[in-house]
Every structure is written in C-alpha cells, then in structure tokens.
Structure 1
Amino acid sequence: MLISIYPWIKALHIMAVIAWMAGLFYLPRLFVYHAERASVGSELDQTFQIMEEKLLRVIMNPAMIVAWIAGLVMIGMGAFDWGSVWAWVKIICVILMTAAHGWMAARRKEFAAGTNTRTGRTYRMFNEVPTVLMLLIVIAVVVRPF
C-alpha cells in the first residue's frame, strides 16, 4: 500500500522544493533592492516589507515544511541510503538550506523593525548560498559522484 503512494510523495516533495527554492532565490534579491532603494518608513519600505513578509509566510514557510515532511516520509519508506556519502551530502545541505531560510527570516524581521544594517552587497553575496547548496544537492542525488 505505502509503495503505491511513494511516487505521489516524491512528486509532492519535488514541487515543494521548487517553490521553496524560488523563494530562497527571490527573497535576497528583494533585500538587495530594499536595502539600496528604500528609506525606513517610506512608502517603498512598506511595499518591500509586505512583499517580503508574504513571500516568506505564504510561499517559503509552507513549501519548506512540505518539503521536509515529504522528505522525511520518503526516508521512513526506505528511500534513503544512510551508508552512501551522497545521502549525507544531501541531508547536510538541506539542513544548511534550512539555516539559510532562518537567516533570511531574521533579516526580514530587521527590515520590518527598521533596524537593517546590511548592505545590498551583503544580500547579493548571500544570494549565492542557496544556489551552491542546490547544486550540491542535485549533483549528490542525481549523479551520486560520492
């Protein structure tokens, strides 16, 4: 019975990861423009705050939760080879991706409080973190070079 729903769980996992990654790529870009173009309390500042909060609350948080739950269900179904290096690379990168998500959520709160001190350059550089982690995850899972 469980094996018959595995493809559905895997599909749900992939869709959730795509939505989560879209947010992880976009939110730091919003931060770049927010830091560089909006003064605290301005109308543009308020617009960025709404966009950032909705992206995080409506798309990123639910997508991350669904990705984690579906991934854990697949692990529980035996879809993970704990003896393989690729599996450990993936799980470590997913944990780091979750930490990156948390870092972005904290930065959004700073913008909302008007206390952001980071520059657009910082957010541009951070924007590469999810990309590098995504590349490592995909290569680990698909190519399995280790």
Structure 2
Amino acid sequence: MLWLKAFHILVVTSWFAGLFYLPRIYVNLAQDHDTATRDTLLGMARRLYRFMAPLAILTLLTGLGLFLYYGIGKGQGWMHAKLALVLSLFAFHGVCGRFLRQFQQGVNTRSHIFFRWFNEFPVIVLLLVLILVVVKPF
C-alpha cells in the first residue's frame, strides 16, 4: 500500500503543477497580445489541459484505492472535509476547461485581474488539505 500512496503523492503533485500553471497562462491570455503570442499561449494552455486530465483521473483512482484500503470510520471528520476540498479541485479543473474553451472561441469576458485571483484557489485548497491530513484537527 505504500507504493500506491507514493504514486498517489506523485500524481497529485503533478496535477497540482497544472492547476497552478494553467490559470497563470489565462492571466496572460486575458491581457492584450498580438495574434502570434495569443496562439502560442492557447497552444500551451491546450497541451497543459490535455496533460492534466489523465493526472486528475489517476489522482482520483489512487485516492479511491487508498480510501478503500484504509477506510473511513468514526472520528475521521478531517477526511470528510478533505474529500469536500478534493471535489472542489475537480470542479476547479472543470472550470479551467470551460475557460479554455472560451479563450479558444474568443469569447472570454474576464480580466487578467480575475484570473490572478482565480489562480489562488488551488493554493488555498492545498494548504487546507495539507493541514487536514497532517494535523487531523477533528
């Protein structure tokens, strides 16, 4: 089971790299750029999103395997909170895909400032999940 846990940490870390970087690309896309720069940024965003999708699936599968192995019992409220935060990350991933489609279609209406704030969400969730997993406050 330690091998599964190690692989889970690897895919979570890799998925988070994408969750951190993709909104940064959106910050740049939301600013005015020439066509060549915009096309380059869109290509980067598209490739990164495609790279992130299998990592999200592997995160889900390895996490489910760990959950089934260790189970969840009485007195593990921290796990419920962690799972809620993880679900919010999957929703964030989906919203990132929606924003990518909007950029590809040229219909984005959000500013680079919005995407700067949007970019902070996975950082906050990671901090909270780490606290829950390590400290297990409830």
Scaled by the length of structure 2, the TM-score of the pair is 0.95
Q: Which runs of 4 or more aligned residues in structure 1 lie more than 2 Å from their structure 2 counterparts after TM superposition? A: 78-83
Return the offset for 1:127: 0.8
What corresponds to 2:48 in structure 1? Answer: 55
Specify which of 126, 129, 134 is matched with residue 137 of structure 1: 129
State yes or no: 1:7 paired with 2:32: no
Letter in 1 for 2:124: V
Gaps (5+ residues) in structure 1?
1-5
Gaps (5+ residues) in structure 2?
none
Return the offset for 1:37: 3.4
Distance 1:123 1:82, change over 3 A: farther
Q: Deviations over 1:81-116 (max 9, x none)?
A: 464111011100000011011111100011111111
What corresponds to 1:3 in structure 2? Answer: none
The two structures, once aligned, show a CA RMSD in angstroms of 1.3
Q: Deviations over 1:45-97 (max 9, x none)?
A: 11111100100102x11111101000001111125446411101110000001
Percent of residue pairs bearing the same amino acid type: 37
Specify which of 104, 109, 129 is matched with residue 112 of structure 1: 104
Distance 1:82 1:128, change over 3 A: farther
* Count of aligned residue pairs for this structure pair: 138
